[in-house]
Amino acid sequence: MRRAPWTGCGTALVTPFAATGAVDEAALRRLVHRQIAAGVHFLVPCGTTGESPTLTAHERRRVVEMVVEEAGGRVPVLAGAGGYNTEEVIDAGVEMRRAGADGLLSVTPYYNKPTQEGLFQHYQALAGRTGLPIIVYNVPGRTGCNVEVATLARIAAIPGIVGVKEASGNMTQMCEVCRAVPDAFVVLAGDDALTLPLMAVGGRGVISVASNEAPAEMAALVEAAEAGDFATARARHARLLPLMQINFVESNPIPVKAAMAMMGLIEERYRLPLVALQPESRARLAAVLQAQGLLSTADAA
């Protein structure tokens, strides 16, 4: 049976950097192949986990082009395109469409703290001019701006706005969102640890950080929940929970990139203002990866 668009496990891809400081294109292409081979359902380049704030506009387009090329139509690509200037976000969305993206993940405007009416009009403008389906990204812990349930219900009625990545961390709000929006409007978890509880009340999956490290395992968790096999889903959730949690021991994506470097998948490189993981955190991360079996199986992956 054909999967509904933007459901299941989507991976918020990291952006690997080379020793020169440039995007490591070869490593990025390997990551895409690894994700698809493991069974993830869609890919999300140039989000928070992809360090989009420190990528240039040219780099963001190039990253998306490479992900689209390597995906080869096997899974859809949801490109990050957000910001606090509506006109610039529209331009970025158009560029992502030209790069071959199938949809946009657009974070709420940050810093200027728009009103709820401002949020509505922002997304209405994006939907009318980018030419791609849009998933709203609500992450008030980073943006200082929460999309309220009533506002999201209004936004869900805009043609072209097809879903929300809900990363408020507020489970009550997430329950209310699932109740308020149309059935066809996709509600995705923005926090790995809340994937299962959200799916239990009507969510359709997750945009995941942990699937960078454990793509097959995260995809299997989501598929079990989709099938209504919550016993299996709970068991998978319980096993993966330490990984989900350790990925946020310091600011994302610092821990996940450190983990992937330990696994031999990328070089551990960041762009300022992000810096390497602190020694205590690194030791805790290594212990979790070892317990998950990810270090011993990394070379085979």
What does the pLDDT read at residue 1?
A: 58
What does the pLDDT read at residue 2?
A: 77
Residue 154 pLDDT exceeds 90 = yes
pLDDT tens across 221-236, in order? 999 999 999 999 999 9
Dihedral, CA of residue 151, residue 152, residue 157 and residue 163, to nearest 10: 160
Per-residue pLDDT, averaged over 281-291, amounts to 98
Q: Does residue 274 sit within a domain?
A: no
Residue 18 pLDDT exceeds 50 = yes
What does the pLDDT read at residue 300?
A: 36
Residues 6+ positions from 185 with CB-CB distance below 8 Å: 156, 161, 162, 163, 164
pLDDT tens across 31-44, in order? 999 999 999 999 99
Q: Does residue 261 sit within a domain?
A: no
Per-residue pLDDT, averaged over 242-250, amounts to 98
Residue 298 pLDDT exceeds 50 = no
Nearest to 185 by CA among 221, 154, 161: 161
Q: Does residue 175 sit within a domain?
A: yes
Q: Does residue 288 sit within a domain?
A: no
Q: Does residue 268 sit within a domain?
A: no
Check residue 193 and report its DSSP letter: G
What does the pLDDT read at residue 225?
A: 98
Dihedral, CA of residue 11, residue 104, residue 194 and residue 247, to nearest 10: 50
**d(C-alpha 268, C-alpha 247), whole Å:** 15
Per-residue pLDDT, averaged over 275-295, amounts to 97
Q: Does residue 284 sit within a domain?
A: no
Amino acid at 153: A
| Mean model confidence pLDDT for the chain | 96
pLDDT tens across 28-80, in order? 999 999 999 999 999 999 999 999 999 999 999 999 999 999 999 999 999 99
What does the pLDDT read at residue 301?
A: 38
> Which positions are annotated as active-site residues?
137, 165
Residue labelled with tokens 């054909």: 2
Q: Does residue 270 sit within a domain?
A: no
Indicate the range of 49-58, 127-136, 149-158, 288-297 predicted with least confidence: 288-297
User: Which range of residues forms the domain containing residue 137?
Assistant: 8-229
Q: Output helix, strand, coil percentages for the chain, rounded to the nearest 5.
A: 50, 15, 40
Contact 87, 52 (CB under 8 A): no
Edge-to-edge strand list for the sheet holding 186-189: 42-44, 8-12, 205-208, 186-189, 161-166, 134-138, 103-107, 78-80
pLDDT over 90, % of the chain: 97
Q: Does residue 275 sit within a domain?
A: no
**CATH number for the domain that contains residue 47:** 3.20.20.70
Domains in the chain, number: 1
Task: Indicate the pTM of the whole model.
Answer: 0.96
Instruction: Read off the pLDDT band of 86 (50, 70, 90).
Output: very high
Residue 250 pLDDT exceeds 90 = yes
Residue 143 pLDDT exceeds 70 = yes
Instruction: Read off the pLDDT band of 296 (50, 70, 90).
Output: low
Assign residue 264 a region (left: φ > 0; alpha: ψ between -120 and 50; beta: otherwise).
left
What does the pLDDT read at residue 299?
A: 40
